[in-house]
Amino acid sequence: MSAGEPGSVVRRMLLGSQLRRLREARGITREAAGYSIRASESKISRMELGRVSFKTRDVEDLLTLYGITDDVERESLLSLAREANVAGWWHSYTDVLPSWFPTYVGLEGAASLIRVYEVQFVHGLLQTEEYARAVVRRGMKGASPADVERRVALRLERQRHLLAGGASEFHFVLDEAALRRPYGDREVMRGQLQHLIEVSERPNVRLQIMPFGFGGHSGESGAFTILSFPDADLSDVVYMEQLSSALYLDKREDVAQYEQALKELQQDSPGPDESRDLLRGLLQLS
């Protein structure tokens, strides 16, 4: 994994998971662990979830507290901490990103399976450049043209790293509302529908449309994303974006509820072939 790749996020998560297991094995509370590194209980929680960078001194002090004295084991974990602090490719865009989003971009880039339900607009990974520009302009009213273009560039870069590479698998369920709500002019929407048809034919993409005609369904709580990772030690993460923040859920019982909701959405929506026909029908009407 080269410098700046999403592997740094995975390493943070792996290191955090190992530190949590070591702490629990010694029966040490998060509060006591935080005290040992001159930090709060909440910081220990964020470290164990892989949500913050790691200071080598903090990791050294925690390993000592947890009774890890073997030089080989200590160096293995300290090396993981150093590698986990490598900045991702998206770091140069942090000036135009909300504070919670870089974490998501890193998780997204490290995931082997991304499952999505979207209702407001076409998901960012499936947007054309023109459609993305219309979405960003509406969402960043008053932003300078330069900032809008940087947000669009980031969105296209995410697509290049993920969809173009073909290393990850994607399951999208788009509500029909996302396809009928106009962003941009008629040509922008036609281009977006055509792009969805083309992307849906890729072997690593499963795209389904939840039609209006179905009525109420299990996605009533709104849009969400489930991220799964290749390493068995990493739990799935549910991501939900809000107006001024985002939620990251990784408790097994929480993830299970969203997995069940998405499973029902997939079962209740037309399959990929029928959904592609639905897209063609919308394109003809546009």
**Domain-located, residue 142:** yes
* 182: confidence class by pLDDT, cuts 50, 70, 90: very high
**Domain-located, residue 89:** no
Final residue before a domain boundary, out of 84, 111, 142: 84
If one counts the domains in the chain, the total is 2
CATH code at position 130: 3.30.870
Per the model's pLDDT, the better-predicted residue between 28 and 234 turns out to be 28
Please report how many Cα atoms fall inside a 13 Å half-sphere around the Cα of residue 29, on the Cβ side.
6
- Quick one: 68 and 159 in the same domain? no
Sequence-ordered alpha helix ranges (H) in the chain: 7-25, 30-36, 41-48, 56-65, 71-84, 101-110, 129-139, 145-162, 176-180, 186-199, 252-268, 272-285
Mean pLDDT of 171-189: 95
29: alpha, beta or left? (left if phi > 0; alpha if psi -120 to 50): beta
pLDDT at 61: 95
* 2: confidence class by pLDDT, cuts 50, 70, 90: very low
Tokens 């079962």 locate to 267
pLDDT at 243: 83
- Quick one: 165 and 267 in the same domain? yes
- Quick one: 56 and 121 in the same domain? no
- Quick one: 50 and 137 in the same domain? no
Domain with 149 in it? 94-285
- Quick one: 98 and 80 in the same domain? no
- Quick one: 29 and 132 in the same domain? no
- Quick one: 252 and 127 in the same domain? yes
pLDDT at 89: 77
**Domain-located, residue 11:** yes
- Quick one: 164 and 270 in the same domain? yes
Q: Model confidence over 85-131: pLDDT tens digits?
A: 777 777 788 888 888 888 888 888 888 999 999 999 999 999 999 99
Final residue before a domain boundary, out of 84, 115, 132: 84
**Domain-located, residue 171:** yes
Q: Model confidence over 5-57: pLDDT tens digits?
A: 555 777 888 899 899 999 999 999 999 999 999 999 999 998 998 888 899 99
Final residue before a domain boundary, out of 28, 60, 84: 84
- Quick one: 164 and 280 in the same domain? yes
pLDDT at 1: 32
- Quick one: 167 and 100 in the same domain? yes
Global pTM reads: 0.81
- Quick one: 257 and 122 in the same domain? yes
- Quick one: 116 and 257 in the same domain? yes
Beta bridge partners of 241: 246
Mean pLDDT of 242-246: 85
**Domain-located, residue 122:** yes
